Amino acid sequence: MPTTDPPFIHALARVDDGVAVGPGSKVWAGAHLRTGARIGAECVIGSDVTVDAGVVIGDRCKVQNAALLYRGVRLGSGVFVGPGAILTNDRKPRAVAPDGRLLTDEDWAIAEIVVDDGASIGANATVVAGTRIGAWSMVGAGSVVTHHVVPHELVAGVPARRIGGVCACGQTAAGAGAEEITCSACGRRFTVGTA
């Protein structure tokens, strides 16, 4: 049953005007939620997390300490973002124009990142702008994601590559292809590439 408890926002968190934080969510010390960010119900936003302007986070997500979610990021429900993970927003970043003029927000072409329901992004992983992380997929710690990750796909490395499949319960299956897999831990059946 959904909670009606008010959100908890630590006194040392910075929450700009125009931020929505859902019922039952917790925002810890040092987190910075920028204008226009929307946090769903029953989320945990860890210490020193940055949630940039306009970022949308679904219900029951966990964003661990020091993660950086930049403008253009949208998380579905039940998403895990590990400590120190970075979700970028610009595929061609520059600080200045060719004439030396400092670029402004209006000069940047934001390329969004969409993370579908139940997906997990490991500690210190980097997700490059313009990618989609499929439902119930898993990105290994320290990986650099430069392309779309399909549902139930397990990826790792630099750049991240498929190393297997992963059940909604988190159990991995090495070398999973397009065939239907029965999870050895919970008995659920899933196919990599299918939500």
Q: Domain residues for 68?
A: 1-195
pLDDT, residue 195, reads: 81
The CATH code of the domain that includes 186 is 2.160.10.10
Dihedral Cα 151, 156, 160, 166, nearest 10 deg: -10
Give 127-151 pLDDT, tens digit per residue: 999 999 999 999 999 999 999 999 9
Give 25-39 pLDDT, tens digit per residue: 999 999 999 999 999
Number of domains in the chain: 1
Q: How far is Cα 169 from Cα 187, in angstroms, rounded to an integer?
A: 10
pLDDT, residue 106, reads: 85
The mean of the pLDDT values for the chain is: 95
pLDDT, residue 108, reads: 84
Q: Nearest-CA neighbor of 194 among 134, 133, 115?
A: 134
Token representation of residue 41:
């119900």
Please tell me the pTM assigned to this model.
Answer: 0.95
Read off the pLDDT band of 109 (50, 70, 90).
Answer: confident
Q: How far is Cα 67 from Cα 78, in angstroms, rounded to an integer?
A: 16
Mean pLDDT of 107-123: 95
pLDDT, residue 180, reads: 84
Q: What are the backbone angles phi and psi of residue 77, rounded to the nearest 5°? A: -85, 150
Please say whether the beta carbons of 39 and 19 come within 8 A.
yes
Q: How far is Cα 68 from Cα 76, in angstroms, rounded to an integer?
A: 16
Residue type, 20: A
The region of weakest confidence among 103-107, 175-179, 183-187 is 175-179
pLDDT, residue 144, reads: 98
Mean pLDDT of 90-112: 92
Read off the pLDDT band of 11 (50, 70, 90).
Answer: very high
What are residue 95's DSSP bridge partners?
none
